[in-house]
């Protein structure tokens, strides 16, 4: 890792759950927001702008938590975030289609493996290096996640580019790191397109607002880069029938100005 290159910050959060029972949500997502370190002050200002817009009458402005926001507040949130030159990468595990995964740890590690791969591809293409911060969850141990990521980085035939130091990975509570509120919002926006609400409705329009910030390959390919759904074949087979909103995502990206 060459620290003389440009520093890109990476913040990771998750949405959905890792449960493998029929009652759990069908999709579990881990999502990364990556941006050049120099725009961090602008993003901090945007967080303040979002708070003022969605909590205008509060004496004390609360942190942004996607699950607590109402529909109009979520639209405000993702539109403000999408104004900035950030990159969003999301990996989803379609749990009902899994065959061999039998426990939560294996599911989580698979998602993180694919996510870290794509983070490294992006930062390598940008000719930079990155520092990764995870949102603290009750079952997420820093030593365990650092050890796991170090093992997949150095594994034979690893596709992960050496653009970060696993020992530098941080686990931080969202209340202590405002940037994690942006990762939380992007994770929620993508998950809402795939996981239905209590009325059996999905909400892809939140994802539409940030789709132009999704990482794509040099050739413009989205699937497998900024958005990866595992198992891949099962999703590809069903995309046109069960996930027609992806056609809108493709159209919005193709007509990007």
Q: Is residue 244 part of a domain?
A: yes
Give the separation between CA 26 and CA 17, rounded to whole angstroms.
Answer: 9
Q: Is residue 136 part of a domain?
A: yes
Mean per-residue pLDDT for 106-119?
Answer: 94
Q: Which of 56-60, 140-144, 178-182 has the lowest mean pLDDT?
A: 56-60
Q: Is residue 86 part of a domain?
A: yes
pLDDT digits (tens, 9 = 90+) for 187-200: 999 999 999 888 98
HSE value, Cβ hemisphere, 13 Å, CA-based, for 165: 6
Say what the pLDDT of residue 65 is.
Answer: 92
Mean per-residue pLDDT for 47-54?
Answer: 91
| Confidence band, pLDDT 50/70/90 cuts, at residue 22 | confident
Mean per-residue pLDDT for 62-66?
Answer: 88
- Residue 157 gets the label, from left (phi > 0), alpha (psi -120 to 50) or beta, of left
Say what the pLDDT of residue 102 is.
Answer: 72
Q: Is residue 1 part of a domain?
A: no
Q: Is residue 196 part of a domain?
A: yes
Say what the pLDDT of residue 255 is.
Answer: 73
Judged against a pLDDT cut of 70, whether residue 256 lies above it is answered with no
pTM for the structure as a whole: 0.93
Task: Find the DSSP H helices in 82-175.
Answer: 104-125, 142-153
Q: How many domains does the chain contain in total?
A: 1
Say what the pLDDT of residue 28 is.
Answer: 94
Which tops the pLDDT comparison, 73 or 174? 73
Judged against a pLDDT cut of 70, whether residue 138 lies above it is answered with no
**Residue 103 belongs to domain with CATH number:** 3.30.420.10
Is 97:132 a contact under the CB 8 Å cutoff? no
Mean per-residue pLDDT for 243-255?
Answer: 82
Mean pLDDT, all residues of the chain:
90
Which tops the pLDDT comparison, 98 or 155? 155
């Amino acid at each position: 890792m060459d620290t003389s290159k440009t520093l890109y910050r990476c913040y990771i959060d998750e949405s959905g759950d890792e449960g493998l029972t029929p009652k759990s949500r069908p999709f579990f997502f881990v999502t990364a927001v990556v941006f050049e370190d120099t725009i961090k002050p602008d993003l901090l200002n945007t967080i303040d702008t979002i708070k003022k817009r969605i909590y205008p009458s509060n004496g004390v402005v609360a942190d942004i938590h996607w699950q607590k926001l109402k529909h109009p507040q979520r639209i405000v949130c993702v539109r403000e975030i999408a104004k900035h030159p950030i990159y969003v990468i999301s990996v989803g595990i379609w749990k009902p289609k899994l065959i061999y995964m039998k426990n939560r740890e294996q599911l989580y590690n698979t998602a993180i493996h694919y996510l870290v791969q794509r983070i490294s591809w992006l930062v390598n293409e940008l000719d930079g290096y990155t520092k990764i911060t995870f949102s603290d969850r009750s079952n997420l141990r820093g030593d365990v996640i650092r050890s796991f990521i170090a093992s997949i980085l150095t594994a034979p035939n690893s596709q992960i580019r050496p653009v970060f130091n696993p020992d530098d990975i941080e686990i931080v509570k969202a209340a202590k790191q405002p940037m994690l509120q942006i990762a939380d919002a992007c994770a929620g926006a993508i998950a809402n397109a795939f996981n239905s609400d209590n009325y059996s409705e999905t909400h892809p329009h939140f994802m539409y607002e940030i789709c132009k910030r999704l990482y794509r390959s040099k050739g413009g390919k989205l699937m497998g880069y900024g958005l990866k759904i595992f198992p891949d074949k099962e999703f590809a087979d069903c995309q046109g029938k069960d996930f027609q909103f992806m056609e809108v995502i493709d159209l919005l990206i193709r007509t990007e100005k």
